[in-house]
Amino acid sequence: MKCPICECEKCDEFIVDLQICNNCSHIFKKVPIKKEVILSDLHDFDKPVEELREVLKNHNPGYMLEFEFPSMVFFGMEVSPSNFYRSTINHYFNQRSIITFLNRCDLKIVEQTNRWLGNICLTNIKVVKE
């Protein structure tokens, strides 16, 4: 299966119904849950790079966006599924996959904050189109 963030073809089984990319460590659902997506819900995108590029194609450089999504920023190598897994989430970003994703969409981070909501980490980023 190909990573939806960096397009690496070397992905392994992770836990439950998730895969992990051997290149950027992005964690994603093997079969994404289809649902109506609003722009701020990156974790719901089926093909995040492709879908965000489509949204951005009509915007000029300097256009600013803000996203909030569940992330793996504070997790080490030992991950317990009960600490983060939600069956309705398609993507779990980490710092490396966030940066890879944004670079592929020609976006630059201008501000990033991370916070805990119960037992899941949420990342809020403000980005600008280059």
The CATH fold of domain 35-129: Rossmann fold (3.40.50)
Which helix (H) or strand (E) covers residue 53, if one does? Answer: helix 48-56
Alpha-carbon distances of 68 from 10, 30, 119, rounded to whole Å: 27, 22, 16
**Strand 11-13's sheet: what is its strand order?**
11-13, 18-21, 27-29, 91-92
Domain locations along the chain: 35-129
- Residue found by looking up tokens 């809020």 in the block: 124
Encode pLDDT of 2-16 as tens digits.
999 999 999 999 888
* pTM, full prediction: 0.73
Encode pLDDT of 59-96 as tens digits.
999 999 998 877 766 555 455 666 666 766 777 788 88
